[in-house]
Amino acid sequence: MGDNQYWATKTSDELCSHIIDQVNGYYNDCHSSGRWRLWRQTYQNYYGLSVAGTEHEASVVTEFGDSGELLSVKVNQIRSLIRHLVTMATANRPGFSPRAVNNDHASMIQVPLTRNVLEYYVRRLQLDLLFANALEASLLFGEAYAWITWDAAAGQMTAEEPIVSQQDEVGEDGETVFAGTPMLDPKTDEPVMKRTYEGDVLAQYKTPLDVIVPRSRDAGSPVWVIVRQFVNRHDYAARYPEHADDLATVQCPEEDFGFSFARWDARRDADEIPVYHWYHRRSDAIPRGRYTIVAARGIVLFDGDLPYSDIPVYRVAPSEMLGAGIGYADSWDWLALNDVRNSVISNLVTVSDAFGTPNVAVVKGSEIEPANIMGGMNIIEYAQGTAPPQILQMPQIQPGAFELINLMSSDMQALSGLNATSRGQPESNIKSGTMAALMQSMATQYNAGLQGSYYRLLEMCGTAIVHILQVFVTAPRVVAIGGLDNADAVESFKGSDIGAIDRVVVDVGSSMLRSTEGRYAIGEMFYNKEDITPDEFMELMNTGTLGQKFKRAAGQRSIIAQENDALGMGPPTTMAMGPMGPVKFVQGVRAIKTDDHPLHIQEHTTELDSPLARENPAVLDAIFTHIDEHFTTWRNMDPSLALVLGLPPPPGVMGAAPAPDGSGAQPQPAGAQQEAKRPTGPQKPEPPGAPKPNTGRPVASPIPSQPKQPSPAEPPGQE
């Protein structure tokens, strides 16, 4: 019988051999299929390199031909297009928005902490640069990867202890080394130490040459992945002392370094060796997954279960070759057009250089010298009966050449989905900022697939970082965060503090808000209506949001959510003395005079939209008691404070008895009585120079959808 055992389940040594075979097979396939040639051609065009990859031709005029009579010029149009696409997709990174498994208060309070932790790692690991580099690489090679893993040797050292023998052994000198005896370094006779570090997240971007995946129709969820990492052999010898001798002396053949995109990066460091990280996802064949680290040509450094929830390699691709499992880059379609464009430009430069200075024909034997015709205002004598000196008509630059250059440029731009406005060169018919914003938005929408792939990369990497921290950060760790109003602050956390977070998504707004033109058009509209101040206009231009303007509303909704969680538990109520006498309130949930009382009341009633809540007397008592406290606080608040906070007057007490004076006016709290004394008829004109109530910010007005309340001085039904 043949060996039907799945190779991924074999012993470490056998698996190591299979991993090296997979690596070699992948590179051979890249070469035979032409993918490596295409990648290298795109790379060389993008960086303006020669075909051999040894010189930067975009920075010089190259002479060629038998005697250097021909000139070659490279205009790096491809780089310009790709850089615009990268900038369009990455200029305004959307914010991370963690999502909790449950919506209870205990889980929801982990959301802001997780957001702060993620923002810390974005700054510390320079993830913005990593994501941009991965996207840029995908536009060159059709796909690229982000590798998010845990580096156990990073961070501060937490412990150091000698490595001891696990069993009795006979040394080279014939003496017995008993189990538990510290191992000695044969070179220094010093104990070999095992160092433990706190560890930290490691993030790198990888090109297709560094990530080996099996060929399948679904490139998004491979069964296994191999990541190639180049490391210093001496660092790894110290990290894995049991393999120190092998790592220090191993010789790597040239094929271990794969193919090179250009000769510039082909020089090898003698201390550098490749390390292959092989990940196999959890499956029926391998329920716990598998993770193996192989150095160079077969040194197994680690072999165990997969410690991550999934393979920690995340792919980004501008688009897909359907059914092939391979990413596709639009830049490949520009290569031929770019070659034609550069060829025409080179011909024009050659003609201009060779024939730009005119030649003069004179009769043979003429006494006319070059000095006679240099400059101007010269008298030139020639023999009677002979022809005067004449300028020879040499090859001229044809207008059709410029049309061909423009055609190639416009075709490349059209294939990229960009337009002149998005590249900072608006057409003459673009007269307004609104039209420019529309053109920019159209380019953004055309490349929505590219941006979508970029946002998915951010989401996958953000989720991976959270899951890694949940597993590996077991001791409290301090991170620097941006506090309120961008003030510096520090915060401590461990994995369990963010354990309720299930995934991370990115908040993506309007495409117009992701461009400067769009922000200006929107901000101009609000500013002209006096809905925002100059400071808020600048905030919109810088960030694309109006966070400060809606800071109070966001804070109120946050406290409402916490109160609803508490009220849903049916907390006990108690009595206390308030400004107007005894007040009944809910323990642990209080209303204060600066609350947005109408919003609180409306949102608290949503807790009653459940049959279970309606059948629970404790919950009903808690909710109604807290709502009554809001009404009481609202009616007794200072009218000036209500005006500043933009709160409407509280509703009157319906069904109350007429006032003793027979006017029918209902009794009101003190604040409301002061409001009632204000005249409601025509007002006396204000003197010139009197301050106006509207100074650029909206004054207090009834909240949206709030029914207009009758004036306390004019009960309904009275004329």
Instruction: Quote the pLDDT of residue 250.
Output: 85
CB 252 within 8 A of CB 297: yes
At residue 177 the predicted structure's pLDDT band, cuts being 50, 70 and 90, is: low
Higher pLDDT, 657 or 113: 113
> 155 pLDDT exceeds 90?
no
CB 503 within 8 A of CB 110: no
Q: Which pLDDT tens digit goes with each residue over 279-336?
A: 999 999 999 999 999 998 789 999 999 999 999 999 999 998 887 888 999 999 999 9
* Cβ 313 vs Cβ 279: under 8 Å: yes
Q: Is pLDDT above 50 for 421?
A: yes
CB atoms within 10 A of CB 607: 19
For residue 665, how many C-alpha atoms fall within 13 Å in the half-sphere facing its CB? 14
Q: What is the pLDDT of residue 536?
A: 81
Q: What is the pLDDT of residues 645-675, one digit of tens each?
A: 889 998 874 433 444 444 444 444 444 444 4
Predicted pLDDT at 236: 92
Task: Give the pLDDT score at 157.
Answer: 83
What number of other Cβ atoms are within 10 A of residue 27's Cβ?
16
Residue 547 φ then ψ, to 5°: -60, -40
pLDDT computed for residue 655 by the predictor:
39
Q: Where are the beta strands (DSSP E) in 247-288?
A: 272-280
Where does residue 293 rank: exposed (0-12), middle (13-18), buried (19+ CB within 10 A)?
buried
pLDDT, position 546: 72
DSSP 705-717: TPPPPPPTTS-TT
- Pick from 108-112, 340-344, 440-444: least confident: 440-444
pLDDT bracket for residue 413 (50, 70, 90): confident
Give the per-residue pLDDT at 468. 95
For 552-601, how does the pLDDT look when each residue is reduced to its tens digit (9 = 90+)? 887 888 889 888 888 988 999 988 776 667 778 898 899 999 999 999 99
Quote the CA–CA distance of 138 and 211 in Å, as a whole number: 13
Q: Is residue 248 within 8 Å of residue 234, measured between CB atoms? A: yes
Sign of CA dihedral 14, 16, 21, 26: positive
Lowest mean pLDDT among 371-380, 536-545, 596-605, 695-704: 695-704
Q: How far apart are CA 338 and CA 345, in angstroms?
A: 11
Res 52: pLDDT? 78
State the sign of the Cα–Cα–Cα–Cα dihedral 53, 56, 57, 62.
Answer: negative
574: burial class by Cβ within 10 Å (0-12, 13-18, 19+)? exposed
**pLDDT for residue 277:** 97
- Per-residue pLDDT, 660: 42
585 contacts: CB under 8 Å, gap ≥ 6: 573, 574, 575, 576, 591, 625, 626, 629
Q: Dihedral of the CA atoms 145, 150, 155, 158 (nearest 10)?
A: -170
Identify the pLDDT of residue 12: 94
Give residue limits of the domains in the chain.
550-650
* Range from 226-235, 555-564, 697-706 carrying the lowest mean pLDDT: 697-706
Who wins on pLDDT, 4 or 665?
A: 4
Average pLDDT score over the chain: 80
Among 192-196, 439-443, 467-471, 631-635, which is the least confidently predicted range?
439-443
* More confident site: 469 or 156: 469
- The C-alpha atoms of residue 555 and residue 536 are separated, in whole angstroms, by 18
Q: How confident is the model at residue 510 (pLDDT cuts 50, 70, 90)?
A: low
Is the pLDDT at 681 greater than 50? The verdict is no
Is residue 172 predicted with pLDDT exceeding 90? no
* H or E stretch covering 685: none
pLDDT: is 558 or 43 the higher one?
43
Neighbours of 228 (CB within 10 A): 19
Is the predicted pLDDT of residue 278 greater than 80, yes or no? yes
- What is the predicted pLDDT for the residue at 482? 56
Which 3 state secondary structure label does DSSP give 421? coil
Alpha helices by DSSP H, listed for 360-492, are 370-373, 399-416, 433-446, 448-472
User: pLDDT: is 262 or 59 the higher one?
Assistant: 59
Residue 405: partners with Cβ closer than 8 Å, 6 or more residues away:
341, 344, 345
Q: Which two tokens stand for residue 420?
A: 């002149």
Buried b (16+ CB within 10 A) or exposed e, 575-588: eeeeeeeebbbbee
Among 1-5, 53-57, 147-151, whose mean pLDDT is lowest?
1-5
What are the respective helix, strand and coil percentages of the chain, to the nearest 5? 40, 15, 40
pLDDT, residue 701, reads 39
State the average pLDDT over residues 11-18.
94
- How many angstroms separate the CA atoms of 421 and 441, rounded? 10
Beta carbons within 10 angstroms of residue 66's beta carbon: 6
Q: Is the pLDDT of residue 275 over 90?
A: yes
Mean pLDDT of 704-714: 42
Among the ranges 98-102, 105-109, 597-601, which has the highest mean pLDDT value?
597-601
> Is the pLDDT assigned to residue 467 strictly greater than 90?
yes
Highest mean pLDDT among 252-256, 511-515, 575-579: 575-579
| pLDDT confidence bin for 679, thresholds 50/70/90 | very low
User: Which pTM was predicted?
Assistant: 0.71
Query: What does the chain come to in residues?
Result: 719
